[in-house]
Amino acid sequence: MPLEPQAVERAERKIRQRNIEGNKPIVGLNVGAGVRWKKKAWTLDGYTALAERIHKSLNATVFLLYGPEDASRAAAVRAGVSIPIVDTGGTNTLPEFAAIVNMCSVVVTGDTLALHVAVGLGKRVVVLVGPTSAAELDLYNQGVILQGDVDCLGCYLPDCEKQPDCMETIGAEQVLQAVRDQLAQVER
């Protein structure tokens, strides 16, 4: 995926204002998934716990990635953490969003635009999949797909009454280990 030089410059200027440490790995957490499938995005508690663990146990910078439809989810994650988190903003243009994703060492996301941008940029990914089909995703050996522990994965239902639902059965420790494994791939 080609990056637009002007978008890269704007994104870097925006992030530099946050005074992040340049020598730390960056893990992008794409906390939304749009509005079509209510259970497509991982839980807010999961993202909040993961952000804390990434910062503390991996000594990494956490980027909050999202689009305009997911601003309230991003605000909830931001409010739920005690660590410094870089809010990249939900109103970036697509070229700016791609430039921000390109700054990440690893991206944690659902089956969303962020996944496809990250894979197109050659980034390592941890993909959390529930109501959509993991079999339809190709990560080109750039990451791992994690799925919940339910018998109805890939149902394509826009909403779900099952308790716990597929995304609720994915644990923060499981995702943290996947991030750790993907960071090890980056460091090779």
Over residues 45-62, the pLDDT tens digits come to 999 999 999 999 999 999
Element (H, E) at 147: strand 143-147
Give 24 or 28, the one with higher predicted confidence: 28
Q: Write the burial class of residue 150 (CB in 10 Å: 0-12 exposed, 13-18 middle, 19+ buried).
A: middle
What is the reported pLDDT for 180? Answer: 97
Q: Note the pTM of the prediction, 2 decimals.
A: 0.93
1 vs 52: CA distance, rounded Å: 31
The domain total for the chain is: 1
Range of the domain at 159: 5-186
20 vs 163: CA distance, rounded Å: 39
Residue 67's domain is classified under what CATH number? 3.40.50.2000
For the residues 57-71, what does the mean pLDDT come to? 95
Over residues 77-122, the pLDDT tens digits come to 999 999 999 999 999 999 999 999 999 999 999 999 999 999 999 9
